[in-house]
Structure 1
């Protein structure tokens, strides 16, 4: 049986270097086979340092996707390039959008993409919410609401296309599929303090494009899918189909913690 530690939104930029290393030691003490991180590792200015801290101090392999905060005070293109460059230094640090489909047991695989809130749930153009994303990420700065929505559609569709390429083979070859993504891919998985986010916040905290691809892939197949995401900092579970379960993880700034130990094979009952 495989044991995977899953955590989301660690925001390592809120910790000094010694506390980051202590956190890594706490991961090692769990004696797991791998660590899964569903985004928001830090911010752009220090992303290489945060990733190297994980690479050099966490003993099991680290599989991760990036989140919106990882691009703060930088650009999407540059952060992705730097993440790929750091991962090239070690086989134990794996950025899932770059790695593709990962077999973790003969019957199970892992796939992932950073994802992005694509503005399609709720009422984006009527929302008064102004995330720091739209002020601190180069590709989203200085846009009108309509231009911003078009860019969010593009980013959400990019993530959806990644899953669209990998899922047919995944559900055909494997009995169980773990999906790692930052942004909740269904309205029902976009939790905030025990409730589903309202139409003002849903556009900024969910990715409809990815959800549609995941749902379509799981209809009429025997495979099971477990989706692990974060972004909203509020925990909850959403049963989308009998064979499709989404877990959204809790997070607290300055206090990163493992959300759950996932065993493989997992039980969706």
Structure 2
């Protein structure tokens, strides 16, 4: 099968004509399914736009959510919407809440949303302030220390979900694809051809997820773990272990495009 991959498509910035054009570009690849690694839309629009995309494609959509998908809402509200959406739509699979998905006998797909956790770079000295800290209700906190605690709780929850999924997948499948929104390593946090600096890393990478991936790669040296992520809108490849590859996908606001098409062979 072919698995089309896109990230940070921000469908809420597009008119219906451009959204239809994006769907055609996916269909034209001949892919059997689409994987989206977050930032699909915003809280009030993510459900209707996922439904619209699914109807336009007629393909299975696997996805994780990104920070923008929680904008103008709360984490609890959006997650409840995701669970309701997927329970009534078999063609939509929110990987953060899904079991291990077998793509073929040799390859499985798992995923978690992932959150920046302030462990890379220098969070307390960073002057960077994201819209996340205004538009996501749970992160709209005055004190940086309070916000950091919430970020780390969210990142830890994602990391533990990923640990459980990998523990189930790696004994069975030689190749495991991992979808997440936030880059899990410094060296995967690409922006305009370079690794992000200490001011930006706290907000754009997740060490908690990275630590889980490193542990899994070391525990299963004969398995291949391939991570697909986004968030930074710039492409790059990192390989922190011989059997662990991380691909960060590029994106442009208002012009969604595929980050790649993966061949899944039995």
> 1:21-36 alignment to 2 at 5 Å?
21-36=20-35
- d(CA) in 2 for partners of 1:88 and 1:100? 13
CA contact (8 A) 1:48 1:86 kept: yes
Question: What residue number does 1:228 align with?
Answer: 228
- d(CA) in 2 for partners of 1:234 and 1:262? 19
Shift of 1:220: 4.3
- d(CA) in 2 for partners of 1:165 and 1:220? 14
| Secondary structure at the counterpart of residue 84 of structure 1 | helix
Question: What residue number does 2:129 align with?
Answer: 130
| Secondary structure at the counterpart of residue 105 of structure 1 | coil
Deviations 1:16-57 (A, max 9, x none): 123212211221121111100000001112111111112211
Question: What residue number does 2:248 align with?
Answer: 248
Ranges in structure 2 where 5+ consecutive residues have no aligned partner: none
| Secondary structure at the counterpart of residue 25 of structure 2 | helix
Q: Which 10-residue stretch deviates more, 92-101 or 128-137?
A: 92-101
> 1:1-269 alignment to 2 at 5 Å?
2-221=1-220, 222-265=222-265
| Secondary structure at the counterpart of residue 2 of structure 2 | strand
Number of equivalences: 265
Q: CA RMSD in A?
A: 1.1
TM-score by length of 1: 0.96
Shift of 1:138: 0.2
Ranges in structure 1 where 5+ consecutive residues have no aligned partner: none
TM-score by length of 2: 0.97
Q: Once superposed, which parts of structure 1, at least 4 consecutive aligned residues long, lie more than 6 Å away?
A: none
Deviations 1:155-209 (A, max 9, x none): 1101100011111221111000000000000111000111110000000000000
- d(CA) in 2 for partners of 1:149 and 1:181? 20
- d(CA) in 1 for partners of 2:207 and 2:39? 20
- d(CA) in 1 for partners of 2:132 and 2:32? 34
Shift of 1:69: 0.4
